[in-house]
Amino acid sequence: MSKLITPKWIEQGPNDVEYKTYKFLQRVKELDQLIDHSLMSALWEIDDTLDYLYRYDAVKQTTTVPSIEFMGFPWEDIELVFTSKEELETDIIVDAIYEDAIDKFEELHNKCRKEWRHIEQGLKCSYIGDRRYFLSGGFVFITTPDSKLHIYFFNKPSRNWSMSWKDFKMQHIKTETYNEDEYFKTLEELSEKKSDRILIKADLKNHTKLEGHAITVINSTVFSLLRRDYAF
């Protein structure tokens, strides 16, 4: 199980219901605006926050004695861990607002999904030339409506079913004005080198920010394409 990331609006500041409510609503407003131009960072934080809140909710539904935790076995080795006063105060505060917080962050997540679909509808990804027989690293050539060519590199993905698209990283190499002659020259050079690199072209039709935004959807799409065709 991945380590929970406690939201800053829970960790920081005084343990006061009114204050924590103000801080979490303030963060909701900030994330709502962030989604429009920085989908990656917004989605990461929203996912982490919902993960925390969902698990907190699950614990609340199953815990019968919240102030004592039994750890260890056999019985003679039992360790009693008593919840501190500060932790109890924090739990009381979170108890008062976590259900409302879940509703608000689920609304944000729905907005992320709408923005994701909007970008996805204007995106086409495909292999350049014949698909390589073996899984390897490669290059992604992204064209955008402003006549730019963005070149990214990715390492060979790990053959691990627990790997997700969030673990898959594409490294930006360079951005230049798209020139058809130069583009095909680059492909010719790679072909002449008998490179085993996987080559993928992503054509983005939407007039939207690439870095930190649309690149999130492209990253996921490329990962899904590779996982589908190379079964890793």
197 CB neighbour count, 10 Å cutoff: 15
Query: What letter does residue 164 receive in the DSSP assignment?
Result: -
Containing structural domain, residue 191? 124-230
Residue 68 has pLDDT above 60, yes or no: no
pLDDT value of position 80: 39
pLDDT value of position 75: 42
Q: Is residue 170 part of a domain?
A: yes
- Residues with Cβ within 8 Å of 90's Cβ and at least 6 positions away in sequence, in order, are 10, 15
Tokens of 176: 């230049």
pLDDT value of position 143: 97
How do 123-127 and 198-204 pair as beta strands? antiparallel
Query: What letter does residue 156 receive in the DSSP assignment?
Result: P
| Residue that finishes a domain, picked among 56, 86, 120 | 120
C-beta separation of 101 from 24 below 8 A: yes
Rounded to an integer, the average pLDDT of 29-41 is 97
pLDDT value of position 159: 78
| Residue that finishes a domain, picked among 93, 120, 147 | 120
Residue 91 has pLDDT above 90, yes or no: no
Q: Total domain count for the chain?
A: 2
The chain-wide mean pLDDT, for the chain, equals: 88
Q: Is residue 43 part of a domain?
A: yes
Least confident of 13-17, 69-73, 156-160: 69-73
Residue 92 has pLDDT above 90, yes or no: no
Q: Do 79 and 26 share a domain, yes or no?
A: yes
Nearest Cα neighbor of 139 from 198, 85, 75 is 198
**pLDDT grade, residue 160 (50/70/90)?**
confident
- Residues with Cβ within 8 Å of 70's Cβ and at least 6 positions away in sequence, in order, are 78, 79, 80
| Distance from C-alpha of 101 to C-alpha of 23, rounded to nearest angstrom | 11
- CA 212 centroid distance within chain: 11
Q: Do 182 and 225 share a domain, yes or no?
A: yes
Least confident of 33-47, 86-100, 127-141: 86-100
Residue 87 has pLDDT above 50, yes or no: yes
Q: Is residue 80 part of a domain?
A: yes
pLDDT top residue among 219 and 73: 219
pLDDT in tens, 94-135: 899 999 999 999 999 999 999 999 999 999 999 998 888 999
pLDDT in tens, 168-182: 999 999 999 999 999
Q: Is residue 2 part of a domain?
A: no
pLDDT value of position 78: 43
| Residue that finishes a domain, picked among 101, 120, 139 | 120
pTM above 0.85, yes or no: no
**Bond into 145 cis (ω within 30):** no
**pLDDT grade, residue 89 (50/70/90)?**
low
